[in-house]
């Protein structure tokens, strides 16, 4: 059994969002995500579903062409092969619990790395 909490895992990074891996198997990946104000996971479309539970803070989630405001207590699910990204509001740290099934591949995270490198939430629009 894996058990933890946001306080035990909390770690922010001044350069980019921090995803602290809590659990990973062939079927699922679980992370606690820590975002400083304005930080983001760039838009990408891996072949995995993702469920996001907002623990604290506020931000936005991209779901296809739509963006939705998120706040503590919200649960958002984005289906596989759908453009998605998460961004903390400019005035708020964001902490979220993310479950991806199955785990995205390393290649599917190339747009994430590129977006962080470019400083672009949606690297395709840059």
Residue 58 to residue 67: CA distance in whole angstroms: 13
Class of domain 14-125: mainly beta
Q: Report the Cα 107 to chain-centroid distance in Å.
A: 17
Q: What end-to-end distance do the CA atoms of the chain give, in Å?
A: 43
Q: What are the DSSP calls for 58-85, one per residue?
A: -EEEEETTEEEEE-TT-EEEE-TTS-EE
Contacts of 9 (CB under 8 A, 6+ apart): 20, 22, 32
- Quick one: pLDDT at residue 92? 95
In this structure, are residues 17 and 33 in contact, taking their beta carbons and an 8 Å threshold? yes
Tens place of pLDDT for every residue, the chain, 126 residues?
999 999 999 999 999 999 999 999 999 999 999 999 999 999 999 999 999 999 999 999 999 999 999 999 999 999 999 999 999 999 999 999 999 999 999 999 999 999 999 999 998 775
- Quick one: pLDDT at residue 98? 98
Please tell me whether the overall predicted TM-score, pTM, comes out greater than 0.85 for this model.
yes
The structural domains of the chain, with segments of one domain joined by +, span 14-125
């Amino acid at each position: 059994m894996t058990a933890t909490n946001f306080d035990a895992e909390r770690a922010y990074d001044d350069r980019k969002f921090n995803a602290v891996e809590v659990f990973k198997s062939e079927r699922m990946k679980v992370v606690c995500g820590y975002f400083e104000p304005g930080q983001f996971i760039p838009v990408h479309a891996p072949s995995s579903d993702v469920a996001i539970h907002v623990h604290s803070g506020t931000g936005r989630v991209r779901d296809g062409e739509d963006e939705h405001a998120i706040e503590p207590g919200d649960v958002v699910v984005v289906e596989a092969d759908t453009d998605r990204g998460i961004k903390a509001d400019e005035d708020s740290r964001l902490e979220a619990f993310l479950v991806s099934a199955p785990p995205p591949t390393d290649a599917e995270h190339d747009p994430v790395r590129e977006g962080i490198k470019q400083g672009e939430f949606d690297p395709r629009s840059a």
